[in-house]
Amino acid sequence: MKKLSTLVTVMAMSLAAVFADAKGDEIMTKVHDVKKPDYSVAKAEMNLIAKNGSVDENRVFWEYGANIKKGAGDKDVTKMVMNFVAPAGYAGTRFLQIQNGPEDGKFVRLKTDANPRRVNSSEDSKSFLGTDASYGDLKKREIEDDTHTYLRDEKHHGFDCHVVENVPKVASSSQYSKKIVWVDKATMYPVYTELYDKNGKLEKQLTVKSIKNVDGYDIPMENEYKNVKTGHKTELKIIAVAVDKKALALMQKMSINPKTVFTQNFLKNGK
């Protein structure tokens, strides 16, 4: 009986692991498939905060986004531009990211540069414009890139969450050994993420403090990116946001062309 009991226990644990992986895949697929606007425009404030709580720098920028939906089996093309307008010494710094499109990649134009440059994949672990996020953190990973393991359900800062561990299938494809994600059940949006370095030590924490439904889309309004090792953090707050037709109307009012804003030429001259 003792041997049978042990065998049953091992089998039960093995089955639990199989179901856990399937549930992890299901949860992260839902996260990936969350409804996104075709176009978005947001004005946001960014604060770089020292370990002692003092603000190193306050920045303001406009963010333009596009999501071109593809058919079954094809990956959506996502585009994003950040155009910094304050402080004066930083205004004119611009960043472009295109994922799955013909010009797939990241491009940055600093205020002091005449032309934009491509950010190479070898720079993914470098700080994004002096923030606590890296260039690699900005890129959305595809479902098939990671192994997803469901860990548990628990509440986190008022959100009722699924907790899922994501481990890169190819270690060199990420600067992290793993990510543990707390996914809000109501919106299927990750509201808290722990990012672990290659030695398995906690390196960063990404916290979503509030989510707002804007014309049918759940949008994170306040985020905090903290470097656990240094104590430095970056806070991001959306001041105003518009989606789809309202976003296009706002672009028109701002003399922003949705056909040319997601280009290196826009990074260069802001037109």
Q: What is the mean pLDDT of residues 249-271?
A: 95
At residue 18, the pLDDT reads: 46
Check: CB of residue 29 under 8 Å from CB of residue 143. Answer: yes
> Which string of DSSP letters, residue by residue, matches 140-183?
PPPGGGEEEEEEEEEEETTEEEEEEEEEESSGGG-SSSEEEEEE
- Residue 177 contacts residue 198 (beta carbons within 8 Å): yes
Contact at 8 Å (CB) between 234 and 51?
no
Q: What pLDDT does residue 4 have?
A: 47
pLDDT bracket for residue 9 (50, 70, 90): low
Q: What percent of the chain has pLDDT over 70?
A: 92
Alpha helices, DSSP H, located in 164-257 = 244-253
Q: What is the pLDDT of residue 251?
A: 97
Helix (H) or strand (E) holding 206: strand 202-214
Lowest mean pLDDT among 135-144, 189-198, 220-229: 135-144
Q: DSSP assignment, residue 1?
A: -
**Which stretches within 33-130 are classed as H helix?**
none
User: So what's the pLDDT on residue 193?
Assistant: 98
Instruction: With a cut of 80, say whether residue 228 has pLDDT above it.
Output: yes
Between 77 and 75, whose confidence is greater? 77
Tokens of 60: 């303001």
Residue 103 has what pLDDT?
Answer: 83
Question: CB within 8 A of 106, min separation 6: which ones?
Answer: 95, 96, 97, 118, 119, 135, 138, 139
Confidence band (pLDDT; 50, 70, 90) for 16? very low
- In this prediction, residue 3 carries a pLDDT of 46
State residue 70's pLDDT score. 73
Given this model, what pLDDT does residue 69 score? 80
pLDDT tens, 181-208?
999 999 999 999 999 999 999 999 999 9
Q: What pLDDT shows up at residue 2?
A: 44
Distance CA 227, CA 197 (A): 11
Model confidence at 5: pLDDT above 60: no
**Are 188 and 34 within 8 A, CB to CB?**
yes
Tell how many helices (H) and how many strands (E) occur in the chain: 3, 13
Q: Give the pLDDT confidence score for residue 102 in this predicted structure.
A: 79
Q: How confident is the model at residue 73 (pLDDT cuts 50, 70, 90)?
A: low
- 246 pLDDT higher than 50: yes
Whole-prediction pTM value? 0.89
- On average, the pLDDT of the chain sits at 92
Tell me the per-residue pLDDT of 205-218, one tens digit each, with 9 for 90 and over. Answer: 999 999 999 999 99
